[in-house]
Copies of this chain bind each other. A is one copy, B any other.
């Protein structure tokens, strides 16, 4: 079954290569054409709205963060909801910006007990075990395993749709070779990595049977992801000090720090901040910090001010085709499709909607 699919894919790829190059939609065109039913509304209670002080030219600088849904990091996102409800971040700052790494915000005086802002009551201390989530049946529609890339047998043709337009099961193999995990995929709209028990057949490129389940799953540090700064282990951070990734994915932080969401709008207001001169990008002059005006859950804002977003379901057919199109760019600019895509370059489409 698996072998015949691979063979079919190879044949399909060959026959297309021999024919005239068909007009194929770009990744953006696939997303634009995705039916409404494939988009998932993000709940207002899952949106964190951070207003920074106006920029150097007086620009409004709003950063919108989508909190990560269950089963990931729920202890920390619970704390963050409490901190936002307490308006805890208001008049604090972005106090650390390290090039190709992170922009971090919260209480710049947090390590000085005499000057630190008191935390609201009711925050929980989350155990390190919560960096991982247990696998649950139905968690993924697609998983991709590390598999040495074979120019000969990984299909480079279009996505393998069946003749009636349905998706094959298992899905086509796209090379997601990953240096940090046995396997990667998407769960609840977020990029995740996973680990299998050593006895599992995780070298199988089309691992998809119920018998082949990962033993743990975790979100990964891609560009724009938001994490919880912490002290030395066993501290795991409360969620009061947060950072966003502004450079190449620091995947070595996976499973070492809690990830609690991703920036879905206004990322440039964090990524273009001046880098701090001290080690780790800390500003030596407090005047260089970027003031935070307020941080609110969108659900706390007046309805007219609530930003509304939706993301393309990572379980949808369009998402699969989008991933294929990114892995095998057929836009006119490209002369050499990659044949694969690293998990952090397969960014989940998110768009603002009016109501």
Binding site for B on A (CB under 8 A): 56, 97, 99-100, 128, 131, 145-152, 175-182, 195, 198, 202-203, 222-224, 232-233, 247-252, 254-256, 267-268, 271-275, 326, 329, 332-345
Query: By the criterion CB–CB under 8 Å, are B233 and A248 in contact?
Result: no
With contact pairs A99-B271, A272-B273, A334-B256 given, residues A341 and B248 touching in the complex (Cβ less than 8 Å): no
Q: For residue A181, which residue of chain B has the nearest CB?
A: B149
Starting from the known contacts A148-B148, A175-B179, 19 additional A-B residue pairs (CB-CB under 8 Å) come to: A56-B56, A99-B272, A100-B223, A128-B335, A151-B182, A151-B195, A177-B178, A180-B338, A180-B340, A222-B248, A233-B335, A249-B342, A251-B338, A252-B326, A254-B338, A256-B334, A268-B275, A271-B275, A272-B272
How far is B222's CA from A348's CA once the two chains are assembled, in angstroms? Answer: 21
How far is B326's CA from A267's CA once the two chains are assembled, in angstroms? Answer: 28
Interface SS majority for chain A: loop
Query: Closest approach, in angstroms, between the C-beta of A339 and any C-beta of chain B?
Result: 8
Query: By the criterion CB–CB under 8 Å, are B198 and A151 in contact?
Result: yes
B residues in contact with A176, CB < 8 Å? 179
Query: By the criterion CB–CB under 8 Å, are A248 and B248 in contact?
Result: yes
Query: By the criterion CB–CB under 8 Å, are B252 and A338 in contact?
Result: yes
With contact pairs A151-B198, A181-B149, A256-B336 given, residues A345 and B56 touching in the complex (Cβ less than 8 Å): no
B residues in contact with A203, CB < 8 Å? 148
With contact pairs A182-B149, A273-B272 given, residues A248 and B251 touching in the complex (Cβ less than 8 Å): no
Return 6 A-B CB contacts under 8 Å, by A number.
Answer: A146-B147, A152-B198, A179-B342, A179-B345, A223-B247, A272-B273
Query: By the criterion CB–CB under 8 Å, are B223 and A182 in contact?
Result: no
Q: For residue A254, which residue of chain B has the nearest CB?
A: B338
How far is B287's CA from A43's CA once the two chains are assembled, in angstroms? Answer: 40
B residues in contact with A233, CB < 8 Å? 332-333, 335
